[in-house]
Each structure stands twice: as structure tokens, then as C-alpha cells.
Structure 1
Amino acid sequence: MTGTKRGDVPVTPDGRYIVVRGRLWRRSNPALAEDVRQALVADLMSARRAVGTARRAGDKDALADAGRRVDDAKTALGERGPVWWDDGAPDLNRHMARTTPYRDWFEGLA
């Protein structure tokens, strides 16, 4: 679904970003095979749980390791690191939608 809402989250017309509280967040690479994507999402969720466990335990080493695992999973999904599109468009991850070329589209959602 592009240019529409996926659940409660708007997706930009080109499918590159979701918008949360007015901010663009890069989506996963749609070229990933579904089984690969599911495995990476499982890794990401496991790493996020490990972050919480380490925080509650006050274990700085475990927290650093879990944070690296989160970053690795998000990078493999295409949400961080090099962009997954090849048309030369800049990465607008974490930009406010109202300050990007998506402004008119975003304002039209309201």
C-alpha cells in the first residue's frame, strides 16, 4: 500500500517511508524475500526484548550488545544504512514530512 494508510500509519506515495507524529521513517526494503524479511523482523524483536531486559537489569554490556543487534537487524531490513532504492533520491529518514518534498501529500492527509 503506498500513498495510503497501513493500519494507522500513513505510507508515502513511493512506499519509502511511513509517517509517525509527522516524521518520516524509512520502511523495510520491499525487494526482500518474505521469509528473509520475517526472519529479520524476528531478530529485531528479539533484540528489542534484549534491550529491555538489559535496561531492567542495569547490564551495560548486554545493553550495548542488544543495541548492536537492533542496529544490525534494522540495517539488514533496509531501515538504516544505505538506501534500498536506486534512483538517486536522497534519504529523508527522520525528517519532518512538512519540510520535505512530501509536504503537499502529507498536508493532504488531514
Structure 2
Amino acid sequence: MSQQSPIHPATPDGRYFVVRGRLWRLANPALDEDVRASLVSDLMQARRAVRDARINGDVSAEREAHAAVDIAKRRLGERGPVWWTDGAPDYNRHMARNTPYADWFAALD
């Protein structure tokens, strides 16, 4: 399954996608599809809970919902320890132009 969209290109190694020049870590591609789908469902439910808590002005519920988002993202491999094993550093949230992906990113234009 490809995690790349035409709007947000993925790096050639499949570790990140790019939004407005910033790298964001992709989910671990080694996750079983059923597990991944369940975690994505959990993530979307948590994001909806954040939205609802904000609408209701419930600071405590919003804090809990943000924690649930973080848990789901960590289980997906989008946060926390990297899921690759070659020792490469994590460039999550870095500007692509300031990373080893700079030439690849520049060639996208």
C-alpha cells in the first residue's frame, strides 16, 4: 500500500511525506494492515475528540484527547522511536531543505 499522495510527496525511502516543505514521519510500513487500520481509526476518533472538546470548551477533555492522539501516533510509528533499523537519524518536523533530502526536495519543483 502506498502512503504517498500527489499533494504530499513521500521521500524516496518512504520515511516521510512533505507538507509546505516540512518532513512528517510516515507510519511504519511493516505494520499488519489490520493493525494499521485499527490504529488509524483510533487516531481519527481521538482527533474528533479534540475537535469536540474545543467546541465545548472542555480543557480537561481536550488534554485527554491530545494524549490519545499521541498514543495512536506513537503506535503507528509516526512519533517516538523510529521504525527503521539502519541507524539513520530522525528528521521528523525538519524543513526538507535543511536535511539530506534537500536535493530530492528541490528537484520536485
TM-score (norm 2): 0.96
Residue identity in the other structure for 2:67: R
Structure 2: runs of 5+ lacking an equivalent: none
Q: How many residues align?
A: 108
Deviation at 1:9, TM superposition (A): 1.0
Report percent identity of matched pairs: 65
**Structure-to-structure mapping, 1:20-39, within 5 angstroms:** 20-39=19-38
Deviation at 1:7, TM superposition (A): 2.9
Spell out structure 1 runs of 4+ moving beyond 2 A. none
Counterpart of 2:97, as a letter, is: R
Q: Does 1:18 align with 2:17?
A: yes
Partner of 1:54: 53
Given the two structures, how large is their TM-score scaled by the length of structure 1? 0.95
Q: CA deviation at 1:6?
A: 2.1
Instruction: Give the Cα separation in 2 of the matches to 1:15 and 1:30.
Output: 8
Q: Deviations over 1:84-105 (max 9, x none)?
A: 0010000000000000000000
| Residues 73-92 of structure 1: pairs in structure 2 closer than 5 A | 73-92=72-91
